[in-house]
Amino acid sequence: MVGKVTSREDKRVRAIVLEEDDVQVDQVRPAPAARPDEVLVRVTRAGVCETDLQLIKGYMGFRGVLGHEFVGVAESGTYAGQRVVGEINCACWNCDTCRSGFPTHCPNRTVLGILNHDGAFADLIAIPERNLHRVPDSIPDDIAVFTEPVAAAFQIPAQMKIEADDRIIVLGDGRLGNLCAQVLASISDDVLVVGKHREKLALLDGMGLRTALVSDDLPPREADIVVDCTGSESGLPTALTLVRPRGTIVLKTTVAGTQTLAWAPFVIDEVTLVGSRCGPFDQALHALEHGLVDVEPLIADRFSLSNGLMALQRAQQKGVLKVLLDM
């Protein structure tokens, strides 16, 4: 290939790589090569998320460097030397979907650490420059690393009008459930988080949110909106028992494999089902900058990238919220 930079071939990075059904820390992986529209970002902090754990179980059939929640320092381009976070969908910006303003749904997209694009559990990541957002100086790395999941939580109010008197139930007291509950509680006065883990619910209690155990007697079919953040096959059936007729169920987590469900209640009760994925980074950064969402209490543990496998194991343990990787 003409004009290929050979020095980059010599550069080696550490990376957590998913191959077949095996995860390894590669200590001497070739540095990613940035395409013309991409820049290299030196990752300083990354977060392990439920999606990473699902990918390891076979979701999406992904192979490559894991990780999509990160903060780092851009090595070149407009943001050279500045701290940045990056949106995870790499769109073509050319197709009808992109031109209609929905680049996160681009049929030609790749997704960092999820679909045909190496991710952020590495010393360096290559990412389209237009995906980057500068991180305000007042947001430390430990907080900025939450931008992507907080943005995902803000996607719910971006997709549907939420009123102050909407009765909302968030199913799931884990990483994303916590963030969705905090974001929704900034709009509605009636948010209930339903979970399985007393210590995770206690954390939410401490943040001023109302909580209940899933084994508690919950009022059936009363909620205007039920948000499924369980990451579990049981989430949607449970949501269906809690949502009121003509209410809305928001599916926030992805589950590997195929689920079966009796769909008739959706017809009979005219329940709306809303899938919800990636959200607005600008709103997330604003919320983190102004302390509107409290993410620091979610940090359960941290590991160096070299001990990345321990980080992944730790993130799978019961009661553990966010596990961070320090590069």
Q: What are the residues binding Zn ion (CB under 5 A)?
A: 49, 51, 91-92, 95, 98, 106, 108
Asked if 280 and 158 touch (Cβ cutoff 8 Å), the reply is yes
Pick between residue 95 and residue 300 the one whose CB is nearest to Zn ion: 95
Asked if 42 and 123 touch (Cβ cutoff 8 Å), the reply is yes
Q: Which residues pair with 273 in a beta bridge?
A: 249
Pick between residue 79 and residue 121 the one whose CB is nearest to Zn ion: 121
Distance (Å, whole) CA 95 – CA 82: 31
Pick between residue 108 and residue 241 the one whose CB is nearest to Zn ion: 108
Nearest distance, CB of residue 175 and Zn ion, angstroms: 8
Strand pairing of 190-195 and 124-128?
Answer: unpaired
Amino acid at site 278 = C
CB within 8 Å of 73: residues ≥ 6 apart: 41, 42, 44, 81, 82, 83, 84
Distance (Å, whole) CA 175 – CA 52: 13
Pick between residue 32 and residue 279 the one whose CB is nearest to Zn ion: 279
Pick between residue 95 and residue 187 the one whose CB is nearest to Zn ion: 95
- Dihedral angle over CA of 298, 304, 310, 314, nearest 10: 0
- Which regions of 60-207 does DSSP assign to beta strands (E)? 64-65, 69-74, 83-86, 89-90, 110-112, 116-117, 124-128, 132-134, 167-171, 190-195
Nearest distance, CB of residue 62 and Zn ion, angstroms: 13
Nearest distance, CB of residue 110 and Zn ion, angstroms: 11
Pick between residue 92 and residue 261 the one whose CB is nearest to Zn ion: 92
Nearest distance, CB of residue 66 and Zn ion, angstroms: 11
Distance (Å, whole) CA 171 – CA 167: 13
Pick between residue 47 and residue 247 the one whose CB is nearest to Zn ion: 47
Nearest distance, CB of residue 267 and Zn ion, angstroms: 32
Nearest distance, CB of residue 185 and Zn ion, angstroms: 21
Nearest distance, CB of residue 279 and Zn ion, angstroms: 11
Distance of CA 270 to the CA centre of its chain: 29
Pick between residue 96 and residue 165 the one whose CB is nearest to Zn ion: 96
H-helix or E-strand spanning residue 206 = helix 198-206
Nearest distance, CB of residue 67 and Zn ion, angstroms: 9
